[in-house]
Amino acid sequence: MNKDIVDIYIECKDFEKAVKLSGLPTLIAHMKLLKSGVLDIKDKILYSSDNGKLGALAEQEFQNIVPTAINYNSIVKRNNPIFDFKYGDLTIDVKYSSVVMTKTNMRSWQVRPSDADLLVCFLEREKGRKMDDYEIALFPKSFISAKSTFCITQKKLGSFKVKKELLEKFLNNYNELLNQL
């Protein structure tokens, strides 16, 4: 009897190798692994769509910047629909967006909102630079009224931009405030 793709993947931690050993078509194997919640973020980076890769890279970068944040994608469920990380009592959804130039030659970005306490957005600074050159913006849930797409204008970005080295400090402050409410 053949081993299940999930068991193979857990043993080898290599998507391509697990697919080959299982004998399953790649898409079927991917669906089974997604449903099981065992796919590693590196596989999302290697095998996902361009947007999926960039989102995974943003999550990985967030974890590097805030190593004490608990990655819920790795301990609870991959692609958790509500949030990616817990930091103290805060739920955090990490987003990535490429820059889009408006008709008036201004930069803007679009992200899908969530029910997390905070959105931490990694925003491409210049077209084509992707995660090589980004800005970080932190948006509390209460500031987002959009249901399907949240548009970040250059003007809005200025009010919510956070320097990489200050991100964890901002998260600490929000967490302390949350605990005082």
Q: What is the pLDDT of residue 131?
A: 92
- Number of domains, the chain: 2
Which CATH number do you get for residue 171? 3.40.1350
**Are 56 and 96 contained in the same domain?**
yes
- pLDDT above 90 coverage of the chain, percent: 38
Please tell me whether residues 74 and 124 are part of one structural domain. yes
Residue range 66-108, pLDDT digits in tens: 999 998 877 665 555 678 899 999 999 999 999 998 888 889 9
Residues 93 and 11 in one domain: no
In a shared domain, residues 176 and 130:
yes
Both 18 and 98 in one domain: the answer is no
Alpha-carbon span 67 to 105, nearest angstrom: 37
Residue numbers of the domain that contains 99: 50-180
Same domain, 110 and 77: yes
Please tell me the predicted confidence (pLDDT) of residue 144: 84
44 domain-assigned: no
Q: What is the dihedral of CA 30, 49, 77, 33, to 10 degrees?
A: 10
Residue 151 lies in a domain: yes
